Chain A
Amino acid sequence: MSEVATRSLSFEVKDITLRFGGVVSLRDVSLEMRRGEILAVIGPNGAGKTSLFNSLTGVYQPQEGTITFWPSEGASISVIGKKAHRIARAGVSRTFQASRLFSALTVFENVKIGAEDHNGLGLVGSLVKGPRTRHAEKVSDEVVVDLLEFVGLSNEANLVASQLSYGGRRRLEIARALATKPEVILLDEPAAGTNPSEKLELTSLIRRVRDERHVGVLLIEHDMKLVMSLAERLYVLNFGSVIAEGSPEEIRANQSVIDAYLGSSHEDASN
């Protein structure tokens, strides 16, 4: 814990408020994420977890507050007001609650779309297959092969994405997100709908993402066992506000967290 605390920040969220018409989805939410940590956001259904993710990735634009992202030490960018694809390129990658793969493409192509540099080669580059294009193709192919091996999908590379098992799809989504060479990866309920053995695999995969790829992980998850075993720190959201923050032990003992789970939405407590 203390070791993590001394690291520099990679995300700083300050007092963001996100409204949809009269409905307040996030109210004065503040959050700090340090470089290379595994941070989890938990909370009952409808607490605003996915809204927070969408705000961090530029899909939603909070009306108030600031979000700062440090792609590397020193250089910072302001997230609010930027388009989602710019933030993705700056080094924030994500997966989705209901997996959103390109289901008609193969496993290989799914990751390749992430690995390709969508800035450098233009229309002409893709028509005239010169040395530069061929080199770029080779580089992105290597990235894909490496990542498929990392998530354990090498043998499924030529399958169509929709043919994968649920757990396989979640791993593919992580591979696709890693293909953009992110600094931080945001995982929205990566274990939702997976069976116990797939859950174990995912837990170790997420840990390896941080340990071997040195990518910070921000996690939303309902499975408390998974969250408590992975996360170094947690934030607890309820009704769009942060109600607690701390280590897994601290959160487990926190009375307002227990109230939020047992009081408002007790079906989550069984997780």
Chain B
Amino acid sequence: MSLISPANLRRLFWIWVILAIVAVMTGTSGNNSTPPTTGVHGSFMERVSFFGLFATWRWLLFVALGVIIWLISSAYRPRARQIHHGVDAFMALPRRLTAKRSTRLILMALALILALVVPKFIHESFWMYLIVEQIGVWVLLALGLNVVVGFAGLLDLGFAAFYAIGAYVTAWFTGALPMPALFHHPIPTLWVIPLGIVAAMIFGVVLGTPTLRLRGDYLAIVTLGFALIIDDFVETQSGVTGGGLGTSPVPHPVLNLGFFHFRWGLSPTPYYYLCLVFIIIFLAIFTSLEHSHVGRAWVAIREDEVAAESVGINPLKYKVMAFAVGAASGGFGGVLTGGLVGIINPGLFTYQVSVNVLVLVIFGGMGSIWGVALGTIVIQTVTSYLDNYQPWGYQINDLYMYIGALLIVMMIFRPAGLLPSRRRAREFAAAEGGEEIHTDEVLTGEQP
């Protein structure tokens, strides 16, 4: 194939387009006092020195880089089919690896060991703190929302509300709210865990019973409204919640079994283990539910509500159940945040939080428990790193631009998520190609 064919030149053009975007992403940023195009202009026109050998404009560097990439990729063009097969096989790897029960158990054991030894390798308490607050809590949130969105197929745009309820219930029972605690003696934080979970579940039922009769878009709007109400309430009702300034400090949890006494303190490591224990509990509960008659009823409702009703499934009952179960893990996330962060303020539960959790669920793979857990760890690790090191001219405000781009790319190349759930992948395949069998199934030769 000739290098200068129209098809090949078109590829060069697209390589340059992508590199132009990369150039802007990694270039200088504009600011409020200069025209908004300054950043773009600077990204191309800035003089850069090339290993001290010579200086040139950035744009020339990227044009040259484009040509190099183009030449290399042109050389590999004849083997494109093979490369495609390789990529497909790689994409199917997680499913192939987890097809056998024994390898699944080994992987789980490795993950557990890794999770147990992580604190041994993280020496700075700042990072340990981030791992609990930015990864651990978010895994709990994403796992909870996955039950609602992934299993039952209900679009919930207000999941942060359950998170907030867990946190504020913790503050209330431990006497950290301006509003007097329910009991005379505030309850130690640890014993608030069941209360926070139950409170979030009750809110799930209370919100769900009237609203889950709605379908699709309407439900999404109602959940969004609910989250905005909760957000507004905690912000403005200073007499009840402490308002925008937040609560008084929530005391650290204490475990007192008589013979065994432990007090969580400023060190984040004990919180890490507390969080890990509950992540494992929720993983076990949700996995068990997925493969029970409740899980099957959820799939039935998600796929075809009318057909589900025709076999005697009460959709409302199972949807409310999904809301309550999902809220449980969100509520626990709130309790944990209460003890960890100390002062709870409305900034922790904004609409943005609901959207972020939804992004994690979509990225990891709707309906795939392990995908959601892994996806959350990946995204939260990367964003924590970017926020704190700010490499390559990265700015915190750019984050959502990248997340948005990531979602678009995901939807094109891997719509079922990082580690797709088997059932969901089939649904996507059916929606796209009608009756055809999913390629992953063919590759692994697996009988589902």
Residues on A close to B: CB < 8 A? 57, 59, 83-86, 88-89, 93-94, 96, 100-106, 109, 112-114, 116-118, 121, 123, 126-127, 129, 133, 136, 140, 158-160, 162-163, 176-177, 179-180
- Contact partner of A104 (CB less than 8 A), chosen from B303, B306, B447, is B303
Given the contacts A103-B430, A158-B447, A93 and B310 also touching, CB distance less than 8 Å: yes
Inter-chain contact B430/A83, CB cutoff 8 Å: no
Given the contacts A83-B314, A123-B294, A100 and B427 also touching, CB distance less than 8 Å: no
Interface size class of B (residues with CB under 8 A): 35 or more
> What would 7 more interface pairs be, CB under 8 Å, given A104-B424, A104-B430, A177-B310?
A85-B313, A89-B312, A93-B311, A104-B426, A104-B427, A133-B292, A160-B448
11 contacts between A and B (CB under 8 A): A85-B308, A85-B310, A86-B314, A101-B307, A104-B426, A114-B312, A118-B314, A126-B295, A160-B441, A163-B437, A176-B311
Inter-chain contact A180/B294, CB cutoff 8 Å: no
- Whether a CB of chain A sits under 8 angstroms from the CB of B185 is no
Distance (whole angstroms) from the CB of A123 to the closest CB of chain B: 6
Given the contacts A59-B306, A100-B304, A102-B304, A85 and B296 also touching, CB distance less than 8 Å: no
- Contact partner of B294 (CB less than 8 A), chosen from A59, A88, A126, is A126
Inter-chain contact A123/B325, CB cutoff 8 Å: yes
Residue of B nearest to A101 (CB): B307
Inter-chain contact A102/B310, CB cutoff 8 Å: no
A160 to B321, CA, bound (A): 27
Inter-chain contact A102/B307, CB cutoff 8 Å: yes
Inter-chain contact A104/B321, CB cutoff 8 Å: no
Inter-chain contact B293/A116, CB cutoff 8 Å: yes
Given the contacts A85-B313, A85-B314, A85-B315, A127 and B427 also touching, CB distance less than 8 Å: no
A93 to B307, CA, bound (A): 10
Residue of A nearest to B294 (CB): A126
A160 to B430, CA, bound (A): 11
- Whether a CB of chain A sits under 8 angstroms from the CB of B289 is yes
Total A-B contacts with CB atoms under 8 angstroms apart: 113
Which residues from 262 to 301 on chain B have a C-beta closer than 8 Å to any C-beta of chain A?
285, 288-289, 292-297, 299-300
A56 to B147, CA, bound (A): 34
Q: Could you say which residues of chain B place their CB within 8 Å of the CB of A121?
A: 293
A118 to B303, CA, bound (A): 17
Which residues from 176 to 233 on chain B have a C-beta closer than 8 Å to any C-beta of chain A?
none
A195 to B123, CA, bound (A): 70
> Which 4 pairs show the lowest CB-CB distances between chains A and B?
A126-B292, A104-B426, A84-B309, A100-B307
- Contact partner of A114 (CB less than 8 A), chosen from B295, B311, B325, B424, is B311
Q: Could you say which residues of chain A place their CB within 8 Å of the CB of B96?
A: none
Given the contacts A103-B303, A103-B426, A160-B448, A109 and B296 also touching, CB distance less than 8 Å: yes
Inter-chain contact B285/A88, CB cutoff 8 Å: no
- Whether a CB of chain A sits under 8 angstroms from the CB of B435 is yes
Distance (whole angstroms) from the CB of B241 to the closest CB of chain A: 31
Which residues from 418 to 434 on chain B have a C-beta closer than 8 Å to any C-beta of chain A?
423-424, 426-427, 430
Inter-chain contact A162/B430, CB cutoff 8 Å: yes
Q: Could you say which residues of chain A place their CB within 8 Å of the CB of B435?
A: 162-163
- Contact partner of B309 (CB less than 8 A), chosen from A85, A116, A140, is A85
Distance (whole angstroms) from the CB of B1 to the closest CB of chain A: 38
Given the contacts A83-B309, A85-B314, A114-B311, A104 and B285 also touching, CB distance less than 8 Å: no
Q: Could you say which residues of chain A place their CB within 8 Å of the CB of B285?
A: 127
Residue of A nearest to B303 (CB): A102
Given the contacts A102-B303, A104-B427, A106-B448, A116 and B296 also touching, CB distance less than 8 Å: yes
Given the contacts A88-B312, A104-B299, A126-B294, A160 and B306 also touching, CB distance less than 8 Å: no
- Contact partner of B311 (CB less than 8 A), chosen from A83, A86, A158, A177, is A177
Given the contacts A88-B309, A102-B303, A112 and B321 also touching, CB distance less than 8 Å: no
Residue of A nearest to B423 (CB): A104
A158 to B447, CA, bound (A): 7
